[in-house]
Amino acid sequence: MAGHLTLTQPLVVEFVGLPGVGKSHATRLVAARLAAVGTPARSSALRINHELGRSRRVLYKSGICAMEALGRPGRAAKVGRALIGSGQQSRVDVLRLLYNWLFLVGLLRRARNRPVVELLDEGIYQLLWSIGFAGDERVIPDYSSTFLVGPPSAVPLPDVVVAVEAPLGLIQARMASRKARAGRLDRMEAAERQAALVRGADLLDKLLSENVGLGGELSGPLLRRVRNGGSGQLEADVATLVDELASLAE
């Protein structure tokens, strides 16, 4: 992370992790703790995805996607071609991932113009995980350069990536207790879901390794971890994280 970050140079934080690990909960907790210590923070992604009604949400996200695609058509086309070759099951999946990429990049770009700590419960790194998980996981090392490398004006990235972690058995139990079955893993039977979580955890480890330029690049995002295996564990890790984020945002 280059340079000294102040509230005139916004701080962008992305949370990444397996489905059911508690990324949104951790994001809300960090936002509340930052506000409590007087550090301006917000989560536009949480507000758009969880607080807006369906019609307003679709309209808002589509507007951001259109601005990003029209403003940088060459970049959008390059990402689209990469997604076509990433082993997705259908064209609908390719279009969905491209839509999400345009939205997230547009959101990151907007966050760079706001003097707050912007918290993303899911972002570019999570999307790259989804691409490998739903398609061919072997594309992760090769495609990371397409999605993560380039000038800041073309490839806005978070300053800090926070990996949210929990035991796989606990994640499995949380997912089994969900009433909604919107996600792919939610609709799986227990044995199939467990195998998918093991594969997803391995893929996430690869994503957060030096092989994709996160763990070892001085110019890349800082990597931090919080454990969501229990309330006391999460509270302690969030407190440490908030202290660091507040210091970076001074």
Q: What does the pLDDT average to over 195-220? A: 74
pLDDT band at 1 (very low <50, low <70, confident <90, very high): very low
Mean pLDDT computed over every residue of the chain: 85
pLDDT value for 58 = 93
- Give CA–CA dist 132/126, Å, rounded: 10
Q: Give the residue numbers spanning the domain of 90.
A: 11-248
Question: Tens digit of pLDDT for each residue in 74-120?
Answer: 989 999 999 998 889 899 999 999 999 999 999 999 888 888 899 99
Residue with tokens 């076509």: 84
Phi/psi-derived region of residue 38, left when phi > 0, alpha when psi is between -120 and 50, beta in every other case: left
* Per-residue model confidence (pLDDT) at position 152: 61
Over pLDDT 90: what percentage of the chain? 55
Q: Which CATH number goes with the domain that contains 51?
A: 3.40.50.300
Query: pLDDT tens, 149-194?
Result: 666 656 788 999 999 999 998 998 888 877 666 677 777 777 888 8
Long-range Cβ contact pairs of 178-187 (< 8 A, separation 24 or more): 178/20, 183/19, 184/134, 185/19, 185/20, 186/19
5 within a domain of the structure (yes/no): no
Q: Which two tokens stand for residue 199?
A: 């594969």
- At residue 133, does pLDDT exceed 50? yes
The pLDDT value given to residue 165? 96
Would you say residue 146 lies in a domain? yes
Residue type, 66: A
Report, as an integer, the average pLDDT of 55-72.
Answer: 94
pTM score? 0.88
Classify residue 4: in a domain, yes or no: no
Q: How high is the pLDDT of residue 216?
A: 47
Round to the nearest angstrom and report the end-to-end CA distance of the chain.
Answer: 15
For residue 4, the model assigns a pLDDT of 40
Asked, for residue 92, whether it belongs to a domain, the answer is yes
Is the residue at 74 inside a domain?
yes
Query: What totals of helices (H) and strands (E) does the chain contain, helices first?
Result: 10, 5
Asked, for residue 58, whether it belongs to a domain, the answer is yes
Three-state helix/strand/coil letters over 69-129: HHHCHHHHHHHHHHHHCCCCCCHHHHHHHHHHHHHHHHHHHHHCCCCCEEEECCCHHHHHH
**What's the structural domain count of the chain?**
1
Picking from 65-79, 161-175, 201-215, which range would have the lowest pLDDT averaged per residue?
A: 201-215
Using alpha carbons, select from 145, 146, 132 the residue that is nearest to residue 87: 132
